[in-house]
Structure 1
Amino acid sequence: MPAAPVPPKPRRSRIQTRNRETILEAALQVFSTQGFRGATLDQIAEAAGLSKPNLLYYFPSKETIYNTLLTGLLANWLDPLRALRAEGDPVAEVLAYVRRKLDLARDYPRESRLFANEILQGAPRIMEAIEGDLRALVMDKAAVLSRWMDEGRIAKSDPVHLIFSVWSLTQHYADFDVQVRAVLGPGHDPFAEAGRFLETLFRRLLEPGVG
């Protein structure tokens, strides 16, 4: 006897969709400044302009909101690395990856700090994804970098640590934004200056015989 078909999930109304987005936006602000442990449902509800019971209608717990944010964040965080093309010019591909990661840090600083806070806590809620999808993607792209190195198209280095260096040298500008701006002082555009510096740095690292 065939299994009964699973009924489709009811579609959310525009108001429900808008309220969910409002809650997630408010939660992102609260979590990125207070961390998971310091954030409360009352703070999120207040930031969203909703009552706590109304918030709980959409998300049954703080953990559910946090995990929803992290799941979407991790997917977006991997997109720049996914876009590195094995058939492209090696130096241009890596430099484009650096630029995409720097743009992500510039445009989504709260998301970057949320991710950093989760990692600093030992990544209890996303360790499975880190050891699974993230690691698999890094190993796949590291193999591409290693092949380019073996072919003499970019200078030899450790391909995994090359990827790590892109992460650290771009996300720093989001995670330590206050420090960067305080040191640079007024009249500076940290991300524009970082873009020029990082292109020079990685070009010298990557080009065989240069540096």
Structure 2
Amino acid sequence: MTHPARKPRPEEETPQPKKLSRIQVRNRRKIMNAALEVFSSHGYRGATLDQIATEAGLSKPNILYYFEGKEAIHVELLNALMFNWLAPLHKMGPGGDPMTEVLTYVRRKMEMSRQYPRESRLFANEVLQGAPRMGPHLETGLKPLFDEKCAVLADWMAQGKLAKTDPGQLLMSIWAVTQHYADFDAQVNVLIADADAGWKAANSHVDLMFRKLLTP
């Protein structure tokens, strides 16, 4: 005898996330963009929901309709940032020409500093505070990737394809140099009046600096 399938109880059913309306998608995007501006300018501690609401052109209750609070917005921004920030490092692979791979990574980081200065400052502010919300990402996301790429660099150096130096210090030097142009863009803009010419010169200088360091 065939028994009909048992209908699951309400508590056993998996709730499906509701699809956001066009207005909801637009408002979330406005909130995220406003929060990025506020957090990158004032840091997490200095930022308030009122500031984010004003920047977004929405009411504070409207902000709280989409997010539980300031920390929830900040964490979502950081999650998206880590994904995008690590993408160029993921692309540096052992199958390519070593010098080309490293310098391409440097150029990608320079371009990200030019296009996303607010995101870079958001990351810098979080780390300066001890990475209270990003700590798990640094441990589970960045650290294994960092170790993997250090091993790739060390292998290239052992084969004589790159000059020997500390792979970890090399990566951190790349981050320090490239992200300077984002984190200190106010100073850079004062010192170099012609932005386009300044970026072209910066790219050439940084490229030459790491090429000389890594040429066997």
1:181 to 175, 184, 189: 189
Q: Is 2:40 the partner of 1:32?
A: yes
Q: State the alpha-carbon separation in 2 of the partners of residues 103 and 184 from structure 1.
A: 17
Any conservation in 2 of the 1:155–1:207 contact (CA below 8 Å)? Answer: yes
Unmatched runs of 5 consecutive residues or more in structure 1:
none
Q: State the alpha-carbon separation in 1 of the partners of residues 26 and 193 from structure 2.
A: 39
**Structure 2 residue aligned with 1:196:** 204
Output the TM-score relative to the length of structure 1: 0.94
1:105 to 87, 107, 113: 113
Q: State the alpha-carbon separation in 2 of the partners of residues 164 and 197 from structure 1.
A: 18
Q: State the alpha-carbon separation in 1 of the partners of residues 67 and 83 from structure 2.
A: 21
**Structure 2 residue aligned with 1:155:** 163
Paired AA for residue 145 in structure 2: L
Any conservation in 2 of the 1:116–1:175 contact (CA below 8 Å)? Answer: yes
Displacement of 1:65 in angstroms is 0.5
Q: State the alpha-carbon separation in 1 of the partners of residues 160 and 194 from structure 2.
A: 43
Q: Is 2:100 the partner of 1:79?
A: no
Q: Is 2:136 the partner of 1:128?
A: yes
Paired AA for residue 197 in structure 1: H
Query: Alignment RMSD, CA only?
Result: 1.6
Percent identity of equivalent pairs: 53
Any conservation in 2 of the 1:173–1:191 contact (CA below 8 Å)? Answer: no
Distance 1:203 1:29, change over 3 A: same
**Structure 2 residue aligned with 1:50:** 58
Displacement of 1:60 in angstroms is 1.3
**Structure 1 residue aligned with 2:49:** 41
Q: Is 2:74 the partner of 1:66?
A: yes
Paired AA for residue 73 in structure 2: I
Displacement of 1:131 in angstroms is 1.6
1:108-140 deviation per Cα after TM superposition (whole angstroms, max 9, x unaligned)? 000000100111111111011112210100100
Any conservation in 1 of the 2:126–2:132 contact (CA below 8 Å)? Answer: yes
Q: Which is higher, the Rg of structure 1 or of structure 2? A: 2
